[in-house]
Every structure is written in C-alpha cells, then in structure tokens.
Structure 1
Amino acid sequence: MPYENPLSQEEKDGGWITLFDGHSLFGWTSNAAAVNWHVTDGAITASEGPRGLLLTSVPFADFEFTCEFQLEAGGNSGVFLRTIPQPAKVDQDCYELNIVDAHPDGYLTGSLVGRARTAEPITGSGDWKTCRVVAEGRRFQVFLGGEQVLDFTDDTDGFRPAGHIGLQRNEGAVSFRNLRLRPLGMHDLFNGTDLTGWRIVPGSKSEFAVEDGTIHVTNGAGFLETEPTFGNFIFQAASQTHAAELNSGYFFRAMPGTAEAPSNGYEAQIHNGFDGDRHHPNNAGTGAIFRRVEARYVVPNDNEWFTTTLIANGPRIAVWVDGYQVVDWEDTRKSDENPRKGQRLAAGHISLQGHDPTTDISFKSLRAVELPAK
C-alpha cells in the first residue's frame, strides 16, 4: 500500500522517526509469542495472552517519545523505556511508564513503577490519550495530554542509560498509535565550514567541497571518512541528489580506507530509483544495506532533501528514511574484520561515497552518538 508520511517537514528535518507504520508490526518483536499483538484500524492492539512486551528491534538512549494509547476499563498496560528484552525487576531492568486505572502501590498512569509516582491520581482507560516522554541521561519528564505529570531524576544504582521501547500487554485490551521518537544527545560530525574531523581516503577521484553549510560531492569514485570510529551507534544525516537516480551511500563500521581498499564497510544505500512503484527499488533503494537487504520502500525523491537515520547495535541494523523504517536486518554471517565478507561488530569509520563520475550529491546535518554499553 502507498505510504503517507505523517511527519511534517520540520519533524523530518529535526530527526523524528515513526516507530509504527500504521499497518504492520515491521520493526517490532514480541517477547511472549502467545500475546495476540496485531494491527487494527491503524493501531497496535493486544487483548489476549499472558503478560508480555512488544519491543523495538533496536535500543535507544536519550530521546523524546510520543504516542497515543487507549486502555480497556480496569485494564493494565504500560510503555517500557530503556528496557531489556525480558525485564524481571522494574527498578533495575527498565523504566515502566504505567497505564492503569488502579495500582496497589499507587503507581498510577504516568508513574514509573518502582521508581516514581505522579502527584495526582490519573486513570488510564477511556478515550485515546496522548503521552510524551523526554528521557535525557538520568532525568525523565512525562507529559499526559500536554500536561507535565512527572519529573524524575534517577540517582540509583538501577539507572539504565539505554534500552528498547516496549509496549506491554498485561490485563485487558490496549491499543497504541502514532508512536514517534526523536533521538537526543547527538553530536555534530560536520561543523558546516570545513572538513575538520574528516579524511579523504587516498586514491579518491571525488571532490569534496564545503558549500553553504553542506558537503558537496562530485565525481568519483571516492570516499570521505570520519576520523573517529563508531561501533553501536545512532547516525543521522540529510542528503540531496542533484540528478535522477544517482548512486551514493553511507559506509559504516568501515575499515580504514586505503587506495587499494577504500570502502570495506557496510553500506546504507542512497539510490531513489524504482520500477513501477516505490515498493520495487531498481538498485536496492535508499536505506538498503547494499548487497544484504533491500529497502522495503523507496521514500525520497531526487533533487529534494531527505534525512536518513541509521541504528547499528550488535548484529542488528535498522534504517529510516524521512522517518519511515525501510530496513530491519540482522547480520547472521560468520564474523569477519571486513563487513563485505562477514559480520563485523567492531567499531569502524563512517564514510560518504562518491560513486562514479556522475556523482552530484550534497550532505548536511551529519550527527551521531554511541549507544551506551549497558
């Protein structure tokens, strides 16, 4: 089905991503197979089965998160933040944002179970309700219906700096929709004025020019790689091709480029061509992990700016384009130093590709953050 992007241009430019596409559970996994997670009327819903979580396939660290939820009267649910896949202790393994009408220990809707209670009692059932969470380091701010209901700083030994987002089925029917997230704490990789922090790979034919706050890449082949390396990380960047069906990409976890071996890394493809409709990319599609998995949909247009979000965590790699998730892939190959030959978990460089003599592409707003180990 055609994709209608719910994000505004300002949200796309700001790095927001959608965690739910409105019609499938792509990018999610259940930790309890017997829970009947499904999509109905544009919402993720569960009403039967044991207690369990529907989890994002990749973790997040600092973020702003928004969603809408609807709970059956007398039900019990929640949104688990920075959670491990199978949390056992709510004061150590996750931050459970409760959604409930009643709780024996007073952790009502908007509370973080086992950690902090809202000042006023808030019920979770009834009409659709909006929720917003800002998680920055040890501080968590919770807003319901636009009103702040909790401001909590975790100074305990149970502090968790990163983890998955999990939707809980506990008691009664619950639905979630409009799930969105914006990574926070990102560090700029490009200062907008020169190529400090970058290195042109020896032997490159491409030209890398700083123009009007962008990196303009022409000619090729060639590569511009970051001086620092990244292992498990979140990366975001905006790019614009200046002609139809040009080819470029973001290489990551790459070995140091040399004239003989300039691009031994994973590649997040940039190519906006498609055959017939956007579900059929003709060269893997923007956001694909080239030679490994195609993009499920070609989101962007040539000659227009678009933002790519890439998350690499262990063998799991996820890619969003203008906020729409196009790849959720796990590298199950045998380990190898060279990602072209096998699975590489070690840190490596991020590089911008000049593909061939027709290359004409601009990059801006390049930023990244390492995911904490815990």
Structure 2
Amino acid sequence: MVRLIALWLTLCGFVCPGFAEERPGLPAKEAAEGWLMLFDGTTTFGWTIQGKAAVKDGCLVLGGDQETLATTNASFGRVAVAFDAHAQGGNGVRLVLGSREEMLPAASSKGLTRCAFVLDMAMQAAPIQFRVPAGTSLTLKDLRCLPLGLKPVFTGKDLAGWKELSGSRARFEAGDGELHLRAGPGDLQSAEQWADFVLQLDVKTRGPQMNAGVLIRGQPDQAGSGYEVQIRNQWQGDDRTRVVDYGTGGIHNRVPARLIAANDGEWSTMTVMAHGRTIVVWINGYPVCEFTDTRVQGKTASQGAKLDRGPIAIHGDDRNLDVSFRNIKLAELPRPKP
C-alpha cells in the first residue's frame, strides 16, 4: 500500500514523506542504546583504506598479499567496539585506537568469532583502526561501536541550561522527559559550548515534511548559526537515496544524507560526531553523512571552517512544525593537538 501511495505521489509530481515502512539501520532497541554501524554491509563508506579491501556477502574483507590499514573517518574518545572476525593466513591483526592496541584472537576453524573491546583515549580522540599484516586476510561482519561517557544536557523537566533566542516564533516546551518544538521559525540554544564531541538524541517528527535541524558550533545568541544537521524525512518516489533538502542527517548546504534512515511518527536516534574539521552523522545507527570542512578557518560556519567552541541549538524552520526530542546527551572529545 505504501508503495502504491508513493507511486501515485510520484506520478502527480509530488515527493514522498517518511511513511512508516521498514527503514535502514539497526533495530530500534539497539539504535536507542546508542550503537553505531561502522560498516553498512555494502560499502566502505566511513573508512580510509591503505592496502586492499573488498565487500563480499555482507562482510568487509581486509588485507591479502600486502599490509592493510583500515581507519575510520570518525574519531572517538571512550568507546566499546564489537564485531565478528575471522583471520586467515596468519596472526598479528590489531585493533587500534590512538596509542591503545588490542590483538585479535587467532583464527578459528569454526569461522567468525565474536569480539568485543572497550578502548579509551583520555588525552586525545582518535579513529578506530584495523592493522592487517601482509599475508593475512581479515573478514569482518556486524562491525559496530558504542560511544561511552555521554551525559545528559537536557533535564527532561524544564529548559534549564537552554534559552530561546530573541525573535523566535517557535514554541519550546519541556516535560515528561521530552522537548517539544511547535510552529516556527526559531532556535532554542544551549548555554554551554563545545567544539569536539559526540552528541546523541532521539527525535520524532509528528507529521509529514517537517523541516527542522540541530545546529552545532553556533554563535551565542545568533539564530541559525553553526553547522545544521538536517531533520527532514522526505525522499522522491520510493527511493530513500533521492533525499529532499539534504535529508535527515545531512549537513544543510554542505553534504546531503546518503539516504533517509528515519520515518515520520517514529522515534529515531541521531548521533553527531564533530572532531576538528570532520563531522559524521548516524541515524538509527546507520552512517548517513560525512563532511570534512576544507575551507580556511572562519569565525562562523557560514564564513569558513568553524573549529572552535559554540553552542548547540534545536532549530525550527517552518510554521507547521511539530517535532519532539528526548535523551539529549553529549560526551566532549579531547581536542586534537594543533
């Protein structure tokens, strides 16, 4: 039925909002817990590979006849990492986070072995790496991570620690663990400021074609400032990769989401990692967007690469908004050295 509606809308020249159908990403419970897919099962998106890599039957295969280094483009401070692994041809495969290394188990005749580690970089956030020596092939499946140490930045009871910016037409209300954004436009901005961090929150759009966002590294008391992580569950026809207006998880005016991994009327978990010039976004655990700002550093994100501290904000664009947020939490990442 959903596909028939989507087809009718397409034939009539309309685009399809986020109808409640099966979405990409992790199951709702795992997504809500904060787990993130480091490998989407079909591509090497989110990785920089030095050496050999291939995707086969839903697995990421690294190495072979030459040494291979696979590095995430996202960086982490304290993180749990879990995956299924099988090494062939030798040992010495290492999982690395900065100066921390873990040796992977020796190859098992039973095939894939479930592995789990907790890695902690207290001094400086770093990417996750797999180092595969020459002559060894490493097969990985269900590769995911869980950022640790996030703390609430929204009480769920009131707007303490936040302020509605002057000129806002939106209505922001807090209670029962949720923050409600109605009407618009307008911004609710945090009093505290951050530069490098992992931010997680749950969001529900309570109608079709809602247009909102989360602003990061903004300017205090300046509406609409910062990088905007878009909230818009809308795509063309029945193809979630044909996103409208950058799509949920896209960086507005910079890089669109790869696909829409959220549905209207359902709680979805958004994760934003900002570290130095790189911003990575997951929706329901699925990696949807990656942006590295190569511009000359500027005072604001509209003028250049905004690297220093700034507030975050819940941002509404349209008058017909009805969007809810909950479980807004954040872990600051150790800053990269100059």
TM-score (norm 1): 0.80
Conserved 8 A contact 1:75-1:173: no
1:282-361 alignment runs, 5 A limit: 282-361=244-323
Pair 1:134 & 2:118 matched: yes
How far apart, CA to CA, are the structure 2 residues paired with 1:345 and 1:160? 18
Match of residue 184 from structure 1: 148
The letter for the 1-side match of 2:166 is P
The aligned length equals: 313
How far apart, CA to CA, are the structure 2 residues paired with 1:346 and 1:6? 31
Pair 1:213 & 2:180 matched: no
Please state how far the C-alpha of 1:64 moved relative to its aligned partner: 1.6
Query: 1:104-154 CA distances to partner (integer Å, 9 max, x unpaired)?
Result: xxxxx3xxxxxxxxxxxxx334311000112357xxxxxxxxxxxxxxxxx
How far apart, CA to CA, are the structure 2 residues paired with 1:4 and 1:48? 35
Match of residue 26 from structure 2: 7
Pair 1:124 & 2:107 matched: yes
Conserved 8 A contact 1:57-1:164: yes
Conserved 8 A contact 2:36-2:146: yes
Classify the secondary structure of the residue corresponding to 2:240: coil
How far apart, CA to CA, are the structure 2 residues paired with 1:321 and 1:26? 14
Query: 1:38-84 CA distances to partner (integer Å, 9 max, x unpaired)?
Result: 1111111123353331001011111221001011143431211x22x
Classify the secondary structure of the residue corresponding to 1:10: helix
TM-score (norm 2): 0.88
How far apart, CA to CA, are the structure 1 residues paired with 2:244 and 2:23? 21
Instruction: In structure 2, list runs of 5 or more residues that go unmatched.
Output: 1-20
Conserved 8 A contact 1:17-1:324: yes
Conserved 8 A contact 1:270-1:286: yes
Query: 1:265-291 CA distances to partner (integer Å, 9 max, x unpaired)?
Result: 110000001002100011110000000
How far apart, CA to CA, are the structure 1 residues paired with 2:94 and 2:236? 42
Conserved 8 A contact 2:52-2:68: no
How far apart, CA to CA, are the structure 1 residues paired with 2:129 and 2:202? 28
Conserved 8 A contact 2:23-2:262: no
Conserved 8 A contact 2:25-2:284: no
Query: 1:22-46 CA distances to partner (integer Å, 9 max, x unpaired)?
Result: 010000002x3xx111111111112
Within the candidate set 131, 139, 150, 1:168 is matched to 131
Match of residue 231 from structure 1: 195
Classify the secondary structure of the residue corresponding to 2:264: coil
Shift of the 6–301 alpha-carbon distance from structure 1 to 2, 3 Å rule, reads: closer
How far apart, CA to CA, are the structure 1 residues paired with 2:179 and 2:142? 34
Shift of the 233–342 alpha-carbon distance from structure 1 to 2, 3 Å rule, reads: same
Bigger RCO of structures 1 and 2 (CA < 8 A, at least 6 apart): 2
Query: 1:335-373 CA distances to partner (integer Å, 9 max, x unpaired)?
Result: 211102221101111000121211110000001111013
How far apart, CA to CA, are the structure 1 residues paired with 2:52 and 2:119? 29
1:140-155 alignment runs, 5 A limit: none
Pair 1:79 & 2:95 matched: yes
Conserved 8 A contact 2:173-2:179: yes
Across the aligned residues of Structure 1 and Structure 2, the Cα RMSD in angstroms comes to 1.8
Shift of the 268–305 alpha-carbon distance from structure 1 to 2, 3 Å rule, reads: same
How far apart, CA to CA, are the structure 2 residues paired with 1:285 and 1:4? 14
How far apart, CA to CA, are the structure 1 residues paired with 2:248 and 2:61? 30
